[in-house]
Amino acid sequence: MTLAPTLNGGLKLIPEERQDWLVLLEIAVDASANLAREFGGLMDEDSMWDEIVVPELEAEFSVQRKHVLKAVKKARRAKEKEIVIEPKDADLWYGALNQARLSLEAEYQFGPREFAEPEEIQDPAMRSAFLRDEFYLTLQSLILRYVSTD
């Protein structure tokens, strides 16, 4: 897969192999729908977080996952097989990638990046998850560097 910044402040993704498309489709799969509820667990009952805030967060996070899934599927069917992350969509992409990484971390507990070595991971599912996480991390870093407007 080729990743390159665009002249108008976006980031272009050009998937070249089947695995490239699969890893992009996996973003929405890896992203857990439980994240909002996990955040709710950080608040006390008096805050009514589960009743008021969690449904809003669930809706917001769902929009991020759906946006990424739709963009990847649309690009896969299009003549020009490429995806451009525009500055206006940076938060949606970053958020979906973050959801995926938070979910993978919750499931596999990779820990801090500097202590994780893929060749030391014996479980194939865990190793695959780690490599996806590495790709998501790279994509997040590129979005922060080239696309985000903050």
Partner 1 sequence: MNAVEAPAHAPKTRTYEKPDKPWQVVVLDDPVNLMEYVSRILIRIFGFSREKADQLMMMVHQEGKAIVWTGGREKGEMYVNQLHSAQLHATLEKAE
Shortest distance (Å) from residue 105 CB to partner 1: 5
Instruction: Compute the distance between CA of residue 93 and CA of residue 128 in angstroms, rounded to an integer.
Output: 21
Shortest distance (Å) from residue 84 CB to partner 1: 21
Q: Which residues bind partner 1 (CB under 8 A)?
A: 35-36, 39, 42-44, 47, 53, 56-57, 60, 94-95, 98-99, 101-102, 105, 110-113, 137, 140-141, 144, 148, 150
Q: Please identify, using beta-carbon distances, which residue of 83 and 140 lies nearer to partner 1.
A: 140
Q: Please identify, using beta-carbon distances, which residue of 16 and 56 lies nearer to partner 1.
A: 56
Shortest distance (Å) from residue 150 CB to partner 1: 5
Question: What is the enclosing helix (H) or strand (E) of 12?
Answer: strand 11-14
Q: Please identify, using beta-carbon distances, which residue of 29 and 59 lies nearer to partner 1.
A: 59
**How many Å separate Cα 112 from the centre of its chain?**
18
Strand partners, 5: 11
Question: What is the enclosing helix (H) or strand (E) of 104?
Answer: helix 90-108
Number of C-beta neighbours around residue 90 at 10 A: 20
Shortest distance (Å) from residue 15 CB to partner 1: 24
- What is the three-class DSSP state of 4? strand
Q: Please identify, using beta-carbon distances, which residue of 19 and 141 lies nearer to partner 1.
A: 141
Shortest distance (Å) from residue 97 CB to partner 1: 10
Instruction: Compute the distance between CA of residue 37 and CA of residue 1 in angstroms, rounded to an integer.
Output: 34
E strands, 1-150, where? Answer: 2-5, 11-14, 83-85
